[in-house]
Amino acid sequence: MSDSLAGYYAAVGVVRVVLFWLALAIAIVALVDWLVRTRKIAPFGPVARFIRRWVDPLLAPIERKLVRSGRLPTAAPWWALVVVVVGGIVLITLLNYLGGLFGELAFGMSSPARFGLLLLSWTLALLRIALIVRVVSTWIQISPYSKWIRWSYVLTEWMLAPLRRVIPNFGPVDVTPIVAYFLLVLVASVIGVR
């Protein structure tokens, strides 16, 4: 099983390198497109014609969203780069998480006594993820009653309500999710799980 995990992580390493070079290529294309859009490169030259023919149609959905939100369409190449970089980070994180999950599953299945420890580890990880989702959703102002976010409130409120009675807010900042996160990390380290 460890050989297959080593192969998996080697494949993740290849994906990481490919995503890096893809992001670098998109950064160069975004720079050239931005130079064309801001007329720092001749708007009717061969580079500009190439950009308008092949790149601008790909950026049209991002440009429409930017214009609807009141931003300048010249920022579309940079937002495309942000989407690619953030998407790549999310993909690599998800692949690493799945690799860890498969490794833990192999560890848990090797002995029935380890399976309970595995379930506890997964429960603590799910609670930490729910806390992160809850905090990030407040930053981008998503309703706690949204179907995408509600689960994180349901999973974590039992933990945060008692902490709020003990820990005061610092102005508009509620630090109880941070305290709860560190408590979960502490419990996981005491028990000896990830």
pLDDT tens digits, one per residue of 25-83: 999 999 999 999 888 998 889 999 998 899 999 999 999 998 998 998 888 899 999 99
Q: What share of the chain has pLDDT > 90, as a percent? A: 58
**pLDDT over threshold 80, residue 102:** yes
Candidates 35, 58, 60; CA nearest to 45 is 35
Instruction: Give the integer Cα–Cα distance in Å for 104 and 102.
Output: 5
pTM tops 0.95, yes or no = no
